[in-house]
Structures are given as structure tokens and as C-alpha cells.
Chain A
Amino acid sequence: MSVDVSTPGSPSAQGALSAHGASITLKGLTKRYGTATAVDAIDLEARPGEFLTLLGPSGSGKTTTLNMIAGFVDVTSGELLIDDRPVHSLPPHKRNIGMVFQHYALFPHMSVSENVAYPLRQRKVPKAERQALVTEALRTVGLAHLGHRRPQQLSGGQQQRVALARAMVYSPRVLLMDEPLGALDKKLRDSLQLEIKRIHGELGTTFVYVTHDQDEALVLSDRIAVFNDGRIEQVGTAEDLYERPSTLFVAQFLGESSLFHGVATEGADGAGVRALDRTLRAGRGHARAGEPAALVVRPERIRVHPIDGAAADQAGVDQSAPAGNAVRGRVRQEIYLGNSRKLAVEVADGTQVLVRESAGDLSGSRPGDEVWLTFRPEDAAVLPATPSHDNTPTRTAN
């Protein structure tokens, strides 16, 4: 069997489990089941040692993509390269990849140590060295004292640590994780996230991580690829995706967004959207003029200005309008969140616009109040309206 053994010579040396991460390149990778397309000609590259997250709702093709990298799912067309070598014809056991599964997939008839030693057994690593590596791997995940137990005697979090130890004990150059924290409760998830991030830093292996949890993706990733409907919407750092989403889907899937639906315009002063009987300006535009589009602003980038009822009546509505992007509305709901406060403001076309005010900077507006909403053009983007966009301005998250 021609399995690459990239085990370093001295197992007791510092960093016995470290490896140089491999690059993974997907070119036009496609998977079809009959007439249904699960993954539609995606291009993606994971750089050596990178933590790349495939983020998306269920059925978006992220797990199918991961399974193609692992070799569990055949590639319909396109290229799959690890370190620039095509691997799509190699069976999983010859790819020298580590993988952690959502439901642990530990062998119930073996002890914890035997589970972790299993990949080394397949690679015919001598017993003494095997023992040292197993101890090292279990120590890394903080379970050195539980090697003799059976997996089913451990808690879910401990089992997933064992699975992690088993996946990294042979220093694979690529480590795949398929929603590894999906079956755990919130608190455990948070602590394991930090542990995974630490281990990634220590190992230097390329991680490809699948999740539908945006918070998890933001915490862990160097870069995130957002999947939707078998395609990749956008790839970038967490900051890229959050601050500069290039599609409406990304804007709504990652974090919360406030949307103003209208028609894209292109003026001398940049991109804009014709909505609510005015033109709202944005720093970035991804839509062609005349197309249906939405202007997207993060809720914390919108400022609320209370309108003094009497003064407004006297002066006339529009004269009191602040300069720049300003939309008038009425506060419908207030949600207290401790460090911040969320307001749902209904604007003229009936859309509820979400605003988030931090606790140190409150406008003092209450439900029922008339307010002006303002935002800077550089905090807004005009994105093409997807044919199936829903009308709710925000995705409930957190």
C-alpha cells in the first residue's frame, strides 16, 4: 500500500505532530446526482496551513464538496488537486487526509488509545513510536488520562476530542472537519472552538471546516467561502465578508443587515438605489443601473435622530431632513440586549429596518416615535436583488 508516512523521526521531540499544510485547489468542481446539481462548477483554493471554512445553509453543497475532497463522493467533473497533484482517482485511504465527523465516528469496539492508534496501525508505524504519538495526541486534546476508556464511556465533547486526536496523530497535511461541533451544546462548542483554533496554530496543517454556524466561522477561520445552492457566493476573510459583502445572500447570511429595496442607479457620485422616493447613495455598487437592487447597511452603521413632533409639524417634514442618506420612519419595536439595543423602524414602504445602538450611544427613541435614519455612503453597498429574495430586512441571528 502506498500511503505516505509523513511521521517525523523523533516522536518525543517538541512538535512531534506538526506538519506542513498542503494546498488544496478545486477547479470547476462539479457533482451531479442524476439531474440534480449538488455542487456547480466551483473554484476554490485553500492555501498551505490555512483555516478555510465552507459556510452555508444545509443543502448548499458544502458537505458534498468536503466529501469530494475526502474521496467519499465521486467527482462528476472538474479538477481536485492537493499540492497541485490530482487526487480524484485516489481512494480515501490513499489520500493521507485527516477527518473529524459530526457524529464522532469512533470505533466502539476499541479503547480511546486504540482509536487514536488506528491510523498509525494502518501506516505500520512501529509500536514504540505509535505509543508515543498516541500519548502526544491525547495530551494535545487534554485526554491523556482517559486512553483506556471506551469511547461510549466519554461525554460528547470528550468523544469529539478523541476524534480530533485520531485525525491529527499521523500529521496529515490536510484536516477536514464536517460540522464537528454540531452535536454539542453551546458552552462546549465555544470552548472546543478555541481549542480547535489553538491546535490549528500548533499543527500548521491546512484545515477545511464545514459549518452552517456563522459565529463559528467568524471565530475560527482565516478565510470563509460562503456556499449557496451549490455555488460559492463569496470567498474572503471574515472582515471582507462582513464589511464588504458582494451578494445579498452573503449580506443576509453573515450577520444582520438592513435592506432598502429599489432600482440601482449609477451617477457621477457613484452607485445608488432609487428607493422611498429618493436616491440613496452607497460607497460600493455591484448592480447594473436599472436592475432591481437593494442597498445594504449593517444595523450598527445606522444612526437614529429623534424628530421633535411639534417642530416637525411647523417646519414641514422634508425641511427637517438631515443631509445625505436619510430615511424617515417610525420606531415599531425595541429589543434590549444589555450591551446594545435593537430597534425595528418602519419606513414609508412598510419595510422594517433594523438598527442597533450600542449602550454607550443611545438616541433615546421609544416605540411610536418618529425618527430620521441616516448612514454614510461608505458604509453601504448596492447589491443585485436575487430573484428569490425575501422581503424581511433582516435575518434573525444570534
Chain B
Amino acid sequence: MNKTSTRVWQSLLAVFCALVALWLVAPSLVVIPLSLSDKPSFAFPPTGWSTRWYSNFFDDPSWLDALTASLKVGLLVVVVATVSGTAAAVALTRSAFRGRQALRAVLLAPMIVPVIVVAIGLYALFLKAQLLGTTFGFVVAHSVLALPFVVIPVTASLQGFDRRLENAAAICGANRWATFRQVTLPLVAPGVLSGALFAFVTSFDEVVMSLFIQSPYLQTLPVKMYASVTRDTDPTIAAAATLILALTTVATLAATLYIARRNRVR
């Protein structure tokens, strides 16, 4: 193949990649102009511009309550899922006990089992345990969904970790906990961090299960948005969506930059 045709093929590939990227991202980006529309409609493209829907969002206590609830649940899920997911990943990579594969399958099951099925089961259980509409209930439910997203990256990090370093720490006089805290954990931190981030996003984004276990007194942001789109249909929901988009983008970028910088320092 000569040089010119190579260049043609490369340009075609670039165009194709750009199209795929656009296809993936564009629907999300549409909410940004929508949220800045001056009319109470979803007409796209907007005919005029205003920030009234953002004022609406921040002036309405029900929106703010939903945002607060989502942040609170999300952060608690981060703590619960990251700690238990990391512990599970350590157990799965380090010890060869009976039923290890079965445990792994169970831990990863929430990724595969349809959420609606889990949601119905959870609704029945929570109804009996009176956990519907409680922060605790939300945290438990979301943690189940978030767990696989912690287990997978932490397991990958642990598999790439040089276990001889743990022997070195032990011979230096570090007990198992000190070894884990001072040697293992700092070196698998990128995996743990991305697990934590995924856990937060999973919870912050969750709508199906949340619709079942919500109550009028405790709604997360996606639940409130779903209610809003069926009732009010004004662009406040677009403003809310834009805020979520901004928040998750910033979080992801910060984590990516942090990990990249760490790897460069090494």
C-alpha cells in the first residue's frame, strides 16, 4: 500500500472514530442547551437563553433536598462499598478457600441480574423490615449494586501487585495489618480509588431500584427527576441533568489526573 492510500485510510478511521464518539456523547450534551432555554419547553434547539431553570432548581427545596439526599447516600455507599469490596478483593486474590469461585460469582451477580428483579425482591424485604424511604435502606441497596464495581478494579490491582513486597515488609517487622496499610494499600490505591469513584457514580445515577424503595420523604435526585418529567415537564430537569453531568465529569477527570500524576512520579 502506498503512502497516499495509507493517509486516506487513516483519515477515514479518524472520521469514523469521531462519529462513534459523537454518537456516545451527543445525547448527554443536548441537556446543556436545553437547560439554558428561556421557554418552559423541551424545544430543541432553544430559541432564547436564560438561567431561570438553574434558579428554579436552587430555589426549590424539593430539588435541593433530593440533591442532598443523593450526595449523602452516594458518599455513604462509597465508604461501605469500597471498604467491603476491597476486603472481598483481598480475600478473593489471596486465599484459596473452598467456594472462592462461587463467592466471586455472587459478588459480581448484581452486574448481571436485571436490576428490576433485585428491586422487586428488595421492595418486599424492605417493606417487611420497614426500611423503605430510609437512608440506611438506600445505602444498603446501592452498595449491593456498587460492590462489583469496586471488586473488579481492586482485584486487578492486587493481581498486578508484587507480593514479595509483603514478605519484605514482614521481615522488616511489620505485622499483617501494618503491611496491608503501609505497603499493599498505597500501592493498589489507584484501583481502590477508581472503585470508589464507580461506587459513587453507580449510587448517584441509580433510578430503577430507587423508585421502588423511595418515599415522599426521601427521594434521590434521579427519582425526583423521574417524578418531575412525568409531572412538570419543564427544563429544571435539564438543569439538574447538567449539574449531574458536570459533577461526574469533574470527579472522573480529577481521579484520572490524580492517577496519571502518581504514575508519572513513580
Task: Name A residues whose Cβ lies closer than 8 Å to a Cβ of B.
Answer: 1, 3, 70-72, 91-99, 101, 103, 105-109, 118-119, 122-123, 150, 152, 166-167, 170, 176
- Does B165 have its Cβ within 8 Å of any Cβ on chain A? yes
Chain A residue with Cβ nearest B186: A109
- Does B59 have its Cβ within 8 Å of any Cβ on chain A? no
- Which residues of chain B come closer than 8 Å to A106, judged between CB atoms? 168
- Does B187 have its Cβ within 8 Å of any Cβ on chain A? yes
Known: A1-B175, A122-B172, A122-B178. A92 touches B164 (CB 8 A): no
- Does B266 have its Cβ within 8 Å of any Cβ on chain A? yes
- Which residues of chain B come closer than 8 Å to A166, judged between CB atoms? 172
- Chain B interface main SS type: helix
A72 and B170 alpha carbons, distance in the complex (Å): 9
- Does B169 have its Cβ within 8 Å of any Cβ on chain A? yes
A109 and B265 alpha carbons, distance in the complex (Å): 9
Known: A92-B170, A122-B178. A105 touches B266 (CB 8 A): no
B179 CB to nearest chain A CB (Å): 8
- Does B249 have its Cβ within 8 Å of any Cβ on chain A? no
B167 CB to nearest chain A CB (Å): 6
- Does B171 have its Cβ within 8 Å of any Cβ on chain A? yes
- Which residues of chain B come closer than 8 Å to A72, judged between CB atoms? 167, 170
Known: A93-B175, A122-B178, A152-B266. A105 touches B168 (CB 8 A): yes
A105 and B186 alpha carbons, distance in the complex (Å): 15
- Which residues of chain A come closer than 8 Å to B79, judged between CB atoms? none
- Does B243 have its Cβ within 8 Å of any Cβ on chain A? no
A106 and B162 alpha carbons, distance in the complex (Å): 10
Chain B residue with Cβ nearest A124: B173
- Which residues of chain A come closer than 8 Å to B211, judged between CB atoms? none
Task: Name B residues whose Cβ lies closer than 8 Å to a Cβ of A.
Answer: 162, 164-165, 167-175, 178-179, 182-183, 186-187, 265-266
Question: Do the beta carbons of A91 and B187 come within 8 Å of each other?
Answer: no
Question: Do the beta carbons of A101 and B172 come within 8 Å of each other?
Answer: no
A152 and B174 alpha carbons, distance in the complex (Å): 22
Chain A residue with Cβ nearest B171: A99
Question: Do the beta carbons of B167 and A92 come within 8 Å of each other?
Answer: yes
A123 and B187 alpha carbons, distance in the complex (Å): 22
Question: Do the beta carbons of A97 and B171 come within 8 Å of each other?
Answer: yes
A239 and B169 alpha carbons, distance in the complex (Å): 37
- Which residues of chain A come closer than 8 Å to B265, judged between CB atoms? 150
B82 CB to nearest chain A CB (Å): 19
Known: A107-B183, A109-B187, A152-B266. A119 touches B172 (CB 8 A): yes
B266 CB to nearest chain A CB (Å): 6
B204 CB to nearest chain A CB (Å): 30
Question: Do the beta carbons of A92 and B186 come within 8 Å of each other?
Answer: no
A92 and B178 alpha carbons, distance in the complex (Å): 13
- Which residues of chain B come closer than 8 Å to A93, judged between CB atoms? 170-175, 179
- Which residues of chain A come closer than 8 Å to B266, judged between CB atoms? 108-109, 150, 152
Which residue in B168, B175, B182 is a CB contact (below 8 Å) of A101? B168
- Which residues of chain A come closer than 8 Å to B169, judged between CB atoms? 107, 118
Chain A residue with Cβ nearest B163: A105
**Could you give 11 example pairs across A and B, Cβ below 8 Å?**
A91-B170, A92-B170, A93-B173, A93-B174, A105-B165, A107-B169, A107-B183, A118-B172, A122-B172, A122-B178, A150-B265
B50 CB to nearest chain A CB (Å): 50
A99 and B171 alpha carbons, distance in the complex (Å): 7
Known: A105-B162, A150-B266. A170 touches B168 (CB 8 A): no
A98 and B167 alpha carbons, distance in the complex (Å): 11
- Given A99-B171, A105-B162, A107-B169, 9 other A-B contacts at CB below 8 A? A3-B173, A92-B170, A93-B175, A103-B164, A106-B168, A118-B169, A118-B182, A119-B173, A152-B266
- Which residues of chain A come closer than 8 Å to B172, judged between CB atoms? 93, 118-119, 122, 166
Question: Do the beta carbons of A108 and B168 come within 8 Å of each other?
Answer: no
Known: A1-B175, A107-B183, A108-B187. A101 touches B164 (CB 8 A): yes
B150 CB to nearest chain A CB (Å): 21
Chain A residue with Cβ nearest B164: A105
Question: Do the beta carbons of B167 and A105 come within 8 Å of each other?
Answer: yes
A24 CB to nearest chain B CB (Å): 15
- Which residues of chain A come closer than 8 Å to B179, judged between CB atoms? 93
A122 and B181 alpha carbons, distance in the complex (Å): 12
A118 and B178 alpha carbons, distance in the complex (Å): 11
- Which residues of chain B come closer than 8 Å to A94, judged between CB atoms? 173
Chain B residue with Cβ nearest A106: B168
Known: A93-B175, A122-B173, A122-B178. A99 touches B186 (CB 8 A): no
- Which residues of chain A come closer than 8 Å to B175, judged between CB atoms? 1, 91, 93
B131 CB to nearest chain A CB (Å): 41
Question: Do the beta carbons of B187 and A92 come within 8 Å of each other?
Answer: no
Question: Do the beta carbons of A70 and B171 come within 8 Å of each other?
Answer: yes
